Amino acid sequence: MPNLKPLELGVIFWASSLKPALEQIQGLKALGVRCAQMGIAGDFDPTDRAAEWKAACQAEDFTLLTVTAAYNGEDYADIPTVVRTVGFIPAATRVEREARTIALCDFAHAVGIPVFACHIGFVPHDRDNLDYLAVQAMVKRICDHCAIHGMSFHLETGQEPADVLFDFLVDTGRPNLLINFDPANMILYGTGDPIEAMEVLKGSIASIHAKDGDWPDASKPGSLGSEKPLGSGAVGIPRFVAKLKEIGYSAPIVIEREGTSPEQWNADMRAAIELLKSLV
Ligand code: MG
């Protein structure tokens, strides 16, 4: 990222198969950012699209930081549904999702994007659990495939406490396995204070999402908290940015906003950019 400043502001967007890449990159640049994470949903077909995305980035002098995958069949309705459907934990979709992941890593490499990221799902706390071992083996294979391309694999945080994730990283033992830290997810899933988690995971935090949210309703077991526009949830964005600086984080601050109309997304992104400019 030679042309990006420390703590450069960026956004995560969901790529469309239907619109030209150039138009999508120009839409992001209109927000005033020069970098982004590229979200790729299960229905995006990357076949023969890499050259177009690479040319669009070059034409607009724009940096795509990461391919962040979501998979067909994932459902974030509530915590039991997430456990059942998200990431690599559901055994029935493991083979299909591994093949999709490898294809997206190859797409990322062809575009010139150095990182693949996703939620791997709820990592079991028991290190002898068969799902823990199977997912760990799968993550090792993906890391090794990424390494062939000189790429890293970033785990999106939030669905397990920091110490469980830390143990998983150590057990997996791959130097290109790192963390995309999302402070709001820790709150939405009720897994712990995000600032304390950053202290535990700081040696592995290689990218982040600036996202905000409120804790789950304690009277509704299994419910998720609610995502909020940046600065209006429970994360405490000033303390989050201060902690980033304290741990020496200098990669881009990637703003994430979900579950809104395109118009609201744009408005919330612009407000988040102004807030972060005042803090960085
Ligand atoms: Mg996130």
Residue 3 lies in a domain: no
Exposed, middle or buried, 224 (CB in 10 Å: 0-12/13-18/19+)?
buried
* Euclidean distance between CA atoms 48 and 53, whole angstroms: 10
pTM: 0.97
**Burial grade of 164 (CB within 10 A; 0-12, 13-18, 19 or more):** middle
Separation CA 268–CA 229 (nearest Å): 6
Residue 153's domain comprises: 9-279
In a domain, 41, yes or no: yes
End-to-end CA distance of the chain: 19
pLDDT number for residue 259: 84
| CA of residue 26 to ligand 1 center, whole Å | 23
pLDDT of residue 266: 96
The answer to whether residues 250 and 6 touch, using CB atoms and an 8 Å cutoff, is yes
User: How far does the centroid of ligand 1 lie from the alpha carbon of residue 185, in Å?
Assistant: 7
Beta strands in the chain (DSSP E): 9-14, 35-40, 63-69, 115-118, 152-156, 177-181, 205-210, 212-213, 227-228, 253-255
Query: How many structural domains are present in the chain?
Result: 1
CA-CA distance, 117 to 69, in Å (whole number)? 6
CA 56–ligand 1 middle distance (angstroms):
25
Contact 104, 116 (CB under 8 A): yes
Closest by alpha carbon to 151, among 118, 182, 108? 108
Domain-embedded: residue 1: no
Reading the chain (280 residues) residue by residue, the pLDDT tens digits are: 558 999 999 999 999 999 999 999 999 999 999 999 999 999 999 999 999 999 999 999 999 999 999 999 999 999 999 999 999 999 999 999 999 999 999 999 999 999 999 999 999 999 999 999 999 999 999 999 999 999 999 999 988 899 999 999 999 999 999 999 999 999 999 999 999 999 999 999 999 999 999 999 999 999 999 999 999 999 999 999 999 999 999 999 999 999 899 999 999 999 999 999 999 9
Domain membership of residue 200 (yes or no) is yes
Centroid of ligand 1 to alpha carbon of 254 (angstroms): 9
Q: From ligand 1's centre to the CA of 132, what distance in Å?
A: 22
What CATH number has the domain bearing residue 200?
3.20.20.150
C-alpha R_g of the chain: 18
148 lies in a domain? yes
Tokens of 139: 């993550």
Long-range CB pairs of 217-224 (<8 Å, 24+ gap) are: 222/78, 222/79, 222/80, 223/78, 223/79, 224/76, 224/78, 224/79, 224/82, 224/188, 224/189
SS3 label, residue 36:
strand
- 178 belongs to a structural domain: yes
**How many whole angstroms from 153 Cα to the centroid of ligand 1?**
15
Give the pLDDT of residue 1: 55
Q: How many CB atoms lie within 10 A of CB 207?
A: 25
Strands 227-228 and 212-213 come out as: antiparallel
Q: Is the dihedral of CA 184, 125, 117, 19 positive or negative?
A: negative
In a domain, 117, yes or no: yes
